[in-house]
Amino acid sequence: MAENHANDFDAKFAALVAGLEPVCEALTPSAAGRPAILTDRLIPTQPTPRGLRARFLMTSLDHEAGLTAYGWRDSLRVVSYAPPHAHGLDELGVVLQEEADFYSGNSERRVVVGLSRVWIEKLVIIDEYAPTAAAPDAWLENAITDPNLSRIEPLQRVARQHHLVGTRVTLDLEDGYFEEDLRAVSPVQLGSGGDLVVGVVTERDWYTWAQHSYGPGERVVRVVPIERLWVQ
What pLDDT was estimated at residue 7? 56
Q: Residue 203: what are its φ and ψ, rounded to 5°?
A: -65, -30
DSSP structure class, residue 32: S
Strand order in the sheet with 118-126: 111-114, 93-98, 66-82, 53-62, 118-126, 34-41, 151-154
In a domain, 12, yes or no: no
Taking residue 138's Cβ as centre, other Cβ atoms within 10 Å add up to 15
Which residue segment(s) compose the domain that 62 sits in?
21-231
Q: In angstroms, rounded to a whole number, what is the distance separating the alpha carbons of residues 81 and 109? A: 16
In a domain, 10, yes or no: no
What pLDDT was estimated at residue 57? 94
In a domain, 9, yes or no: no
In a domain, 15, yes or no: no
Total number of domains in the chain: 1
> Whole-model pTM?
0.80
In a domain, 94, yes or no: yes
- Look up residue 30 and give its amino acid: S
Sequential DSSP letters for 52-107: -EEEEEEEEEETTTEEEEEEEEEEEEEEEEE-TTGGG-SS-EEEEEEHHHHHHT--
In a domain, 38, yes or no: yes
Taking a C-beta distance cutoff of 8 angstroms, is the pair 141, 132 a contact?
Answer: yes
In a domain, 27, yes or no: yes
Low-confidence ranges of the chain (pLDDT < 70): 1-32, 130-136, 138
In a domain, 68, yes or no: yes
